[in-house]
Structure 1
């Protein structure tokens, strides 16, 4: 395992209030790893602040989280990185927790290691709708893909090895990317594991998935997952 070839990918959109703090924390506790910020067409000063601390790609238009993440994955693939780690730009994901994903890979290699808020942890604060939706997605994945036992399929904190990088560089969903990417990867025979991590609440701003939106999100995701498993089609 060549840990010197790890790329940290940070997709972000209008995160001017948190991006500098996040990048400074990465510099403090993850020295030696490369970092790239993918600014998904932000309309604030995210790009200006990010490029002062890390290599930053400015997308000319907003592609959504899936497009931003895949841009970073393609960079990892083309530049020969053995691993990439995705963390969000809103400050929820703690850079010092990345070592837990790498440790989980050392102990039991899996192509994808998810940083789980809920594995061995009942204290993470979340709305009932988010909890219910996440649990329903996790149980559906385990039913359709029996080797996949995950607790946090919507987590955006995850480690990908070279095999997953190669797959996602070619195929990555733009809609509901966190859970749908797992279904696509599992269908192609990639393995998925988890590691327990601590996460913060958002530093600034509000999530776009509030109120009853998590339930609507869950129903749409479940439909995508079931179709992915039962009606195999060529991936985009």
Structure 2
């Protein structure tokens, strides 16, 4: 199988990467997009050791679509399902724990709704930039980025929040949480992310905590599009949550960094394996509990 990876990569001009890079794809109700997201990896499989799709209890056919697409890739793919609706942040916590205990060196986050493109990250991996920083963060709002179908109103709102967070943190932040990022697992292991919120604000906790912990952060421009995706963000409520979160960071920083912003314990972040491309007999939902 490895020889197949090398041959394909050579033909496409992609240099194989022998590091342990895990691709984590969080998914929720994106049956129409998850297959396209997985097939973005076609032709660059040799760069990665494994892919996990973590479904957050979707009510559509996301899991079925993910399994169908996974079978077309030439690398190990596991499709997981959270034991409960743990939120986007909860899925990240499960994936971080998995990457750490399975000995991966780096973790790539690629959202399952096919808005971002893995191709924007590949040149940075090729150049070895991920080895010189703690995280590479895809940025929708920095020079060189490309937005398709993204409203001017949402763009303006995001840029305002980027400036507010930049002022509060003392570092220029070009995006507070896109769907394409790469983390060094050892850096994440030493971050107290378990107490961060489980909902969509998880990324805001991450960016502020990593700046405060003096991580080496590098932003890179990405392409981002909206066509058949359905947003789960309620703009007014989300904006109020974000402002409250930022206020806590500014005036009660210790509580923000070390506080418990979730009612769950670390053992609650677990998923069941529903598909494993390396097995001839598929699991029937085996619990995968962080240790």
Q: Give the stretch that moved more between structures: 113-122 or 35-44.
A: 113-122
Partners of 1:214 and 1:104 lie apart in 2 by: 37
- Match 1:139 to one of 163, 170, 176: 163
Aligned positions of 1:159-174 closer than 5 A: 159-166=182-189, 167=191, 170-174=194-198
Q: Which residue is 1:73 aligned to? A: 96
One of 176, 181, 195 as aligned partner of 2:220: 195
CA distance, structure 2, for counterparts of residue 86 and residue 222 of structure 1: 25
CA contact (8 A) 1:184 1:228 kept: no
Greater Rg by CA:
2
- Asked if 2 retains the 8 angstrom alpha-carbon contact of 1:102 and 1:159, the reply is no
Q: Which moved more, 1:103-112 or 1:215-224?
A: 103-112
Whether 1:90 aligns to 2:120 is no
1:207 alignment counterpart: 231
Cα pair 2:139 2:145 within 8 Å, conserved: no
Q: Choose 26-35 or 9-18, whichever is displaced more.
A: 26-35
Greater per-residue strand proportion: 2
Per-residue deviation, 1:100 = 4.0
Where do 1:101-180 residues align within 5 Å?
Answer: 101-102=124-125, 106=129, 109-121=132-144, 123-125=146-148, 126-146=150-170, 148-166=171-189, 167=191, 170-175=194-199, 176-180=201-205
Deviations 1:201-221 (A, max 9, x none): 24x342133xxx435423321
Count of aligned residue pairs for this structure pair: 230
- Distance, in Å, in 2 between the alignment partners of 1:74 and 1:37 is 14
Unaligned runs of 5+ in 1: none
Two-structure CA RMSD over aligned residues (Å): 2.4
C-alpha contact (below 8 Å) 2:124/2:130 kept by paired residues: no
What CA distance in whole angstroms lies between the structure 2 residues aligned with 1:14 and 1:28? 26
Q: In the alignment, which residue of structure 2 is the partner of 1:218? A: 239
Structure 1 residue ranges, 4+ long, deviating more than 6 angstroms after superposition: none
Give TM-score, length-normalised by structure 1.
0.85
Distance in 2 separating the partners of 1:94 and 1:113: 14
> Is the aligned partner of 1:42 residue 2:63?
no
CA contact under 8 A between 1:13 and 1:42: conserved in structure 2? yes
Q: CA deviation at 1:108?
A: 8.3
Pair 196,217 (structure 1): closer, same or farther in 2 beyond 3 Å = same
| Cα distance in 1 for residues equivalent to 2:111 and 2:192 | 18
How far apart in 2 are the matches of 1:78 and 1:117?
31
Query: Shift in Å at residue 127 of structure 1?
Result: 1.9
Cα displacement (A) at 1:106: 1.6
Unaligned runs of 5+ in 2: 1-16, 71-76, 261-291
1:186: which partner in 2? 211
Judged with a 3 Å threshold, the aligned counterparts in structure 2 of structure 1 residues 141 and 163 are, in CA distance, closer, same or farther, namely farther
